[in-house]
Structure 1
Amino acid sequence: MVVGGLMGRLVGHVVQWVVLSYPDWSVWGTCPAVGQATCIQPGVYGLIAAGATMCGVTRLSVTLAVILFEITGSLDYVLPFSLAILVAKWTADAIEPLSIYDLLTEMNSYPFLNNKHKPIFTTDLADIVPRVRRHRIIDISSSPLVKATVLRKKLEGLHRAGELDGGLPIVRNDVLVGLIPAPDLEFALDNLRDEESSLCLMASVPSIDDSDDDIHGVDPTDFTPYIDPAPVALDIRSPMDLVYECFVKLGLRYICVLRDGRYAGMAHKKTFVKYVRDLEIRDGHI
């Protein structure tokens, strides 16, 4: 809007100078007959150009027109505002159908699902679930204590895979008992005094008396406050329509997958978005 306002103001001053320099042109009508001034207001040109520029970039239309004539405090300029925004939108759509936000989403490969266009699925969740990768889970079958160095390596594996907003499922005897998000795990590991020799508690132990926390303070090796004990999980035979609704309406970043009650993998939103785009390209929607 600033760039458009500057350009519009410049055009307004140019038009004002032309009117003052050639007041006898019939095209101006009675505009120059205001003494030493003219009826040209460069500020109005600036507002119109600012709205047109922002509409061309963001594709806002009605909302932007309302914002502009509310700025002026009157309805005198509703018609030029609306016409400028309408022409700007038509011109921008003819050059590039997508707005700058849609283009940035595609360029940066953000996992965004458009809820206005739902694909037609004929498969189930098993098509996008990779095999169980042992380096992507935290196994506490033998002990709820896990070395901090092991957790750091698993976290770095998530970062290398580009899943900065992912998580590590916690499994006991192949049964999902919780999940710790990657940002929370990184925060907890950074708070350890000695990461090389620390053992982190990844599950609640009934034998530990909670009154010890009041005496000695919060234990930094206790990661149970960061663990989600009931993450969203679906059966591997769930229809893809249900998976789509979970990602779009619940805003989930990942879904744990179960097979007959046992952990079978994890479906990340980025993987699902890639699957949807491949489906749309195959069906000719893109």
Structure 2
Amino acid sequence: SSELVEYLFAECTDIPADDLGLCKLGIANTGVILILLISSVIGFLLASLTFGLQIPAGILLPSMAVGALFGRSVGLLVEVAQRNHPNSIVFSACEPDIPCVTPGTYAVIGAAAALAGATRMTVSIVVIMFELTGALSYVLPIMVAVMLAKWTGDGIHKRGIYEAWIHLNGYPFLDNKDDTPIPDVPIAQLMTRIDDLICVTAAGHSIASLQTLLQQHRFRGFPVITSLHSPTLLGYISRTELTYALASAGSPKGRALSEHAEVYLMHAPLADPTTTLDLRPWMDQTPITLSALSTLMLTNDMFQKLGLRYIVFVERGELRGLMTKKDLWIVLNNGEVATTGQGTGALREHFDEEQEDERGLLGVERGERG
């Protein structure tokens, strides 16, 4: 693709051997234009297929090649029109016996437009094309083509190809530029409540009991509280950190603690540090928290603007619930209205449960996920 794009960008004076026949004149030029148009259609279809396959394939060069093929064909058509009608008002600025139309410029503009239509990028594409061509005089037409392509693409579908691919695969991506209105719903109706959470108490655990907990539950993390009767939030420990800490403590190359050794997740001044395990260095002691009286709108803003993976909800310092980014994504996109008030959102993040074909809070049907 890179060699093809380079060949399409070049002018006839810079092409040592015209193997593709881009510089033919007369009737032969008509066949070249037809070949370029057909090649652009075929390239568009092949790029659509290869990008959707689970193989290492990109979209930048294929889309640029498709746009360059179409742009070069347009440039050749304009060149033919200028030669056949040199006195037309459209070509009044062209001087006689001097090449006026450069098909390579049309190829550059076409490549930029195709790339912008596919990815919806703007400034970066203009910079890329300027670095490829090195011609500052082409920046203005490239900018116009890029903006027109982006507006046309937005009119067809609001998502670019990367955002559409993320959406089709169900990745929990929350676009901070998305201005879709969020319903003013109390988060207490949607979060995973403490009754449905698996929490780790600060004391009363051993290495063996925590390893059993990890085997029984596949959650990616656990809130840490003082006790079940007084669930004051102390922090949050991820599954990865907890697994590593327990494995290191029980390893012969580590501290070689017994599986019955006591584990603490809070300050224990009377505990023997040689026979107990302190997990405070492995847990997040200051997780991002919100009031349990917060709304879905505020929670969505926190996830989008801070890039959080989870938010813990408290009331007067006591744990009331939790919501992960994927929980929020499911609520907004996949019809979780039926579970409002049940507070089981986080439980769905870790198990492959079937989702119902209902509309979400933002009116997006599950069928759109493919």
Cα distance change on mapping 1:27 and 1:87 into 2, 3 Å: farther
Question: Are residue 169 (structure 1) and residue 228 (structure 2) matched?
Answer: no
Taking the aligned partners of 1:188 and 1:31, their CA distance within structure 2 comes to 78
State how 1:193-204 maps to structure 2 within 5 Å: 193=251, 198=259, 199=261, 201-203=263-265, 204=267
Q: Deviation of residue 181 (structure 1)? A: 1.9
Q: Which shows bigger deviation, 177-186 or 12-21? A: 12-21
Partner residue in 2 for 1:102 = 163
1:231-251 deviations in Å (ceiling 9; x for gaps): 223332233343233222332
- Quick check: 1:223 aligned with 2:279? yes
Contact 2:309 2:325 (8 Å CA) reproduced: yes
Alignment length, in residue pairs? Answer: 264
- Aligned counterpart, 2:294: 238
Secondary structure (helix, strand or coil) at the match of 1:280 reads: coil
The equivalent position to 2:137 in structure 1, one of 49, 69, 76, is 76
Query: Which stretch shows the higher mean deviation, 97-106 or 196-205?
Result: 196-205
Q: Deviations over 1:133-185 (max 9, x none)?
A: 5772113443475634224225x521xxxxxxx42111222322221123323
Query: For the residues of structure 2 that align with 1:19 and 1:238, how far apart are their CA atoms?
Result: 61
**Identity over aligned pairs, percent:** 30
Match of 1:266? 322
RMSD: 4.1
Shift of 1:88: 2.5
Equivalent of 1:139, from 201, 206, 210?
201
Change (3 A) 1:93 1:184: same
Change in Cα spacing, 1:104 to 1:17, as seen in structure 2 (3 Å) is closer
Residue 247 (structure 1) aligns with: 303
SS at match of 2:162: helix
Residue 5 of structure 2: aligned partner:
none
Using the TM superposition, name which of 192-201 and 51-60 deviates more. 192-201
Aligned to 2:61: 2
Contact map agreement 1:8 1:49 (CA 8 A) in 2: yes
Structure 1 residue 227 displacement after superposition: 0.8
- 2:361: which partner in 1? 279
Q: 1:76 is paired with a residue of what secondary structure?
A: helix
TM-score by length of 2: 0.57
Q: CA deviation at 1:20?
A: 10
- What residue ranges of structure 2 are gaps of 5+ in the alignment? 1-59, 334-359
Structure 1: 5+ residue stretches without partners? 159-165, 213-218
CA separation in 1, counterparts of 2:162 and 2:314? 36
Q: When the two structures are superposed, what TM-score results if normalisation uses the length of structure 1?
A: 0.70
Distance in 2, matches of 1:242 and 1:207, equals 42
**For 1:279, what is the secondary structure of its paired residue?**
coil
